[in-house]
Chain A
Amino acid sequence: MSATVVRKIVIAGLGCVLAGFAGADFYRGRHRPEPLVISPSVAEVKKLSQYFAPLRGTANDENIYILEGKKPGGTFLVMGGSHPEEPAGRLAAWILAENGDMEAGRVFVVPSSSRSGTTVTRPSGAYPSDYTIPTAWGGQTFRMGDRWANPLDQWPDPEVYIHYPSRQQLAYMDVRNLNRAWPGRSNGTLTEKTTYALIRLINEEKVDVVIDLHEAELQYPVISTIVTHPKDMSLAAMTSMILTDEEFKMGMEKSPAELRGLSHREIGDHTNALPLLFESPEPFLDATRGRTDAKLLLEGKDEFVVRAGKRGLLFEKIDEKGWPIDVRVGRHTSAILQTLSVWTQDHPDKPVILKNIPKYAEVIAKGTGAFLRDPAKAGPKELVFE
């Protein structure tokens, strides 16, 4: 065997080793099991394909946890993970599904709305493949996820994404963005079929209010706020006023009619439900961030984002304390509880009363991990995997 052949074999072998390490990491990230211990108030765990059969067996055949009270009332849908790289939304939904004690009404909880997006990280983004929330029993690890669905589930992207049915032209990669694909269509892409199925859920279950949980970079003007559809802004207005007065600053904005495909616009236009979208601050998403690792994701501290703030480039305050995950999760749980409270006051004939969910101060004091249940102590009927 000549020296040239040996050299080629060695170089190709090194390539195989690199591909092996990278591939194993990507495979683990895509298939990492995420246990969820359901609350006793969860009357049923459905699959999204029960509302639209073609989703069966796909990455987006996600779990729907139905918290049902003993007394009848209104119906809420809470969606986490529309953008899985915004983990506070997923974690808040997780806390609801694991701890929620329903007294009246129903709350449908979807922790992984874009489940496909939870199985991938941003190519070339050097994202961590997962993150761990510390708990008294050792910690729970979650898939990192990305803003967009996994290209392994939906590929290729078009040159330009043309939103259905408005035909508005959007960025090509947003064809995999769940929050640009509402109201969806039955014969569309996986992402469009997912929003189509969620619209069917909203209509069939007569959902009154949809809450879509998100996080935003501090350089984005829509932050620390509730975005709502103009058909009824009173629920969001009252919630934001009470939260700002009693717990933390929370704004309110009207969904712009010109921006299509978003939950706060299309759910309001295409169903009887009122959509609300909550945004909390996540420095991990800022373009001027430093090292993109799990520490930044969970602690929300970044000296470069702080510098941007000192130069007046941000739409939300930040200091050396950052925006830790407990603060962001607490904002979401408190905002959900306050929305339910205002709704119940305004609709005494359709109350939605949810207990045993920690508010902002409690999540900060005890940590998010205090409200995650140990899967090792769960019975087989209590354990579900996301």
Chain B
Amino acid sequence: MIITIFYYLLVAFVVFLAGWNLVKSRKWQEEVLYVIVLLPFVLRLLRLK
């Protein structure tokens, strides 16, 4: 259970990093890429997949 919670915290951290990069990015191609990367992490964080 502790390891599972730790993994959810890791996922939340990756979501924060990708989101931060999305905000800071200057190229629209990179922004699209960050959104695509975010999808599975967000779905796991919301416990949907």
Contact = CB atoms under 8 A, between A and B. Distances in A.
A15 interface: yes
Interface residues of A, number: 19
A155 B39 contact: no
Interface in A1-59: 4, 7-8, 11-12, 14-15, 18-19, 22-23, 26-27
User: Chain A interface mostly helix, strand, loop or mixed?
Assistant: helix
A11 B47 CA distance: 23
Contact of B35 (A14, A23, A152, A155): A14
Contact of B22 (A8, A18, A123): A8
Contact of A27 (B7, B35, B42, B48): B48
A186 to B, nearest CB: 15
A165 interface: no
Given A8-B22, A156-B3, A156-B4, A18 B49 contact: no
A23 B49 contact: yes
B23 A11 contact: no
Contact of B46 (A7, A23, A123, A151): A23
Given A23-B43, A26-B43, A11 B35 contact: yes
Given A8-B23, A123-B49, A156-B4, A15 B43 contact: no
Contact of A11 (B4, B31, B43): B31
A59 to B, nearest CB: 12
Interface in A236-269: none
A15 B49 contact: no
Interface string B1-45: 001100100000000000000110010100110011011001110
A23 B31 contact: no
Contacts of B36: 15
Nearest to B33: A11
Contact of B7 (A19, A123, A156): A156
Nearest to B24: A8
Contacts of B44: 151
Nearest to A121: B49
Given A22-B39, A23-B43, A26-B43, A11 B7 contact: no
A26 B35 CA distance: 19
A156 B28 CA distance: 33
Contacts of A123: 49
A192 B49 CA distance: 22
Contacts of B47: 152
A19 B39 contact: yes
Given A7-B31, A11-B31, A12-B22, A22 B3 contact: no
Nearest to B31: A11
A22 B22 contact: no
Given A26-B48, A123-B49, A19 B22 contact: no
B32 A11 contact: yes
A18 B39 contact: yes
Contact of B31 (A8, A27, A151): A8
Interface string A68-110: 0000000000000000000000000000000000000000000
10 contacts: A7-B31, A15-B36, A19-B43, A22-B49, A23-B49, A26-B49, A123-B49, A152-B47, A155-B4, A156-B3
The 9 closest A-B pairs by CB, nearest first: A15-B35, A23-B48, A26-B49, A26-B48, A11-B31, A156-B7, A152-B47, A19-B42, A19-B39
Given A11-B32, A23-B49, A156-B4, 10 more contacts: A4-B26, A7-B31, A8-B22, A8-B23, A11-B35, A15-B38, A19-B43, A27-B48, A152-B47, A156-B7
